[in-house]
Structure formats: C-alpha cells, structure tokens
Chains A and B, each alone.
Chain A
Amino acid sequence: MGPNEELGRLLGEHRFFEGMNSGSCDRLSECATLEQFKTGQYIFREGSAADRFYLIRHGSVVLEIHVPGRDPIVVDTLQAGEVLGLSWLVSPYRWAYDARADQATEAISLEVTCLRSKYDNDPALASELFKRYIPVMADRLAATRRRIIDKAKESRLTREVK
C-alpha cells in the first residue's frame, strides 16, 4: 500500500469523512499529511496564516483566545474524531484562536491550496466538504456562545437591551 493509499484509508476512517466514497478520500489524500504534536506544543497561533485544517486522530487540542495580561479564555477542547480549523474557509484566512496540544496528539492535516484545486471544478466534491464543515462551524459557534453565557454568569454582567 503506497503512502497515499494509506492516508486515504486513514481519512476514510475519520468521523469527518464518514460516508464519503473511497475515490474522493483517495483524491483528497494527496493533500494530506500525518502530523504529531507534543503536549504543550502550539499547532497554530491566532493571526497566523490558516492554510490547512486538521482531523484529530489521537489526543486532544485546546482552543484558546489570548487576552493580554490575563489567563487565556478556553473556548473549547477538541478530542479524537473532531476537526480543528475553520479559518481557511473565509477571508482573511487567519487563525482566530490559538490551538495547543493538551496531550500527545496525532492529526491528519489537509493543505488548502491543494484541496481547492481538487474541489474547485467539482461541485459534488465541494458540497460534500461544505456539508461536513457547516456542522463543525455550528459546533464551534455553540461552544463559543456557551462560554459567553458562562462568563456573563460569572461576572453577573447585565447589559441594556436597546
């Protein structure tokens, strides 16, 4: 089995690509790299270029917002089977959070320029990707809003409703 076939198989195993046909997984595997991160290592930092996303295979990743002079705000903790990285989808293509490996973590990264070259002229493949991405975005939004509610409760914040 060549490296691409092996990666294609790993992609197909990940929950994100559940139900995706193996032909599409093999095509996308050309954009894939298997990566390892040590505990405490940053996978990306807020503001840097978002040129890939990650499918977590093992370990866990903390998403945090850096606040000068304060502890970072932990937005979410992502586990094996989850997807890391949304910012590659929208301008300005910069990460909105810091992503830190919370333990030894293995992930498949998918490089975005390569991905676009695969799906740009293939609306069916693009729809498959977008259809899978929208719930990931919705999860992140829900996590962020839960944190807003937690923080608001903590600070007993009240706001004028205009």
Chain B
Amino acid sequence: MDQREELERLLCEHPFFRSMSPELQREIADCARSERYNAGEYIHREGEPADRFYLIRHGSVAQELRIPEQESIIIQTLHEGDILGWSWLVPPYRWTADARVMQLTRLIALDARCLRGKYADDPQLAYELLKRFIPIIANRLEASRLQLIDVYGEPRHRK
C-alpha cells in the first residue's frame, strides 16, 4: 500500500471523517500528511500561525495555557481519536494554547490552505467540515468552563 492509500485509509477510519462520503474523504486526503512527535515536544505554541489541524492517531497531547510568572495550566489533555486545533478556522488564525506532547504521538496533519482551496467552491464540503468542528470547539469551551470553576475554587491569596 503506498503512502497516499495508507493516509486515505487512516482518515476513513477516523470517527471525524467516517460518516463523510468517499468523494469528500478523497478530497481531504489530498491535504493530509503523517507526523510524529516525541514526549516533551511542542506541536505548536500559543500565538504561532494556525495553518493546520490534527487527528491524533496514537499518544496524548496537553493543551496548556501560559500564566505570567507561573507554571502553565493544563486545560485539557487530548488522546487517540481526538481532533487537535480549530484556530485555522477563525481570524487571526493563531493558536490560542500550547500543545505539548506527553508521550510519543502520531498524528495526521491537515493543511488549512489546501482545505480552504477545496471547500471555497464546495458548500457541501464546507458544511461537513464546519458541522464537525462546532462540537469540538464546544468541547474546548466546556473544558475551559470547568477549569475556570476549578481555579476559582482554589483558596485565594495563598502566601
């Protein structure tokens, strides 16, 4: 099996894409490539250009928020099967958190410019993609809301 077929197979198996038509899956596979990161590496840092998103195939990735003069807070940890990254959808197209690899992680990266080129003229593809990102962003929002309550619950003015 060549690399392209392998990527297409991996995409089709992923819950994010499984329910899409084979035509759309093939379109999206044009924008995909495999990546691998070791524990401790950053996939991206807050503020960097967000020009892609990822399907996590194996491993886990911590989403961290930097706090001035303190250690970062882990807002959420993403695992196998999760989608990493939505900032490519929203101006100014910059990552809003750090993504730090917690163990050897393999991902499929999807290039944003390539995807936009595909869906600019294809409302069905735009719809299928946007529809799937809404629950993902909602999930990040819920994780942040819980984190906020958690932080608020900590004793204040600890000296």
Instruction: Please give the residue numbers on chain A whose beta carbons come within 8 Å of chain B beta carbons, in ascending order.
Output: 65, 67, 70, 73, 75, 86, 89-91, 96-97, 123-124, 126-127, 130-131, 133-135, 137-138, 140-142, 144-145, 147-149, 151-162
Contact = CB atoms under 8 A, between A and B. Distances in A.
Interface in B58-100: 62, 64-65, 67-68, 70-75, 86-87, 89-91, 96-97
Which among B89, B133, B138, B153 has the highest number of chain A CB atoms within 10 Å?
A: B138
Given A65-B149, A127-B123, A138-B90, A145 B138 contact: no
18 contacts: A65-B148, A86-B141, A89-B135, A127-B126, A130-B127, A131-B130, A134-B134, A138-B90, A142-B96, A144-B144, A148-B73, A148-B144, A151-B152, A152-B67, A152-B151, A154-B156, A161-B71, A162-B74
Given A67-B149, A130-B134, A138-B137, A145 B123 contact: no
Nearest to B138: A90
A155 B123 contact: no
Contacts of B134: 89-90, 130, 133-134, 137
Interface of B: 62, 64-65, 67-68, 70-75, 86-87, 89-91, 96-97, 102, 123-124, 126-127, 130-131, 133-135, 137-138, 140-142, 144-145, 147-149, 151-159
Nearest to A138: B90
A62 to B, nearest CB: 15
Task: Report whether over half of chain A's contact residues are helix, strand or loop; otherwise say mixed.
Answer: helix
A145 B71 CA distance: 15
A160 B126 CA distance: 40
A127 B128 CA distance: 9
B142 A96 contact: yes
B74 A73 contact: no
Given A89-B138, A155-B155, A123 B124 contact: yes
Contact of A126 (B86, B131, B153): B131
A124 B157 CA distance: 52
B91 A135 contact: yes
Nearest to B137: A137
Contacts of B86: 134, 138
Contacts of A134: 86, 89-90, 130, 133-134, 137
Given A134-B133, A134-B134, A152-B151, A141 B65 contact: no
Contact of A140 (B97, B141, B154, B157): B141
Nearest to A149: B67
B74 A161 contact: yes
Contacts of B87: 138
B70 A152 contact: yes
B89 to A, nearest CB: 5
Nearest to B156: A155
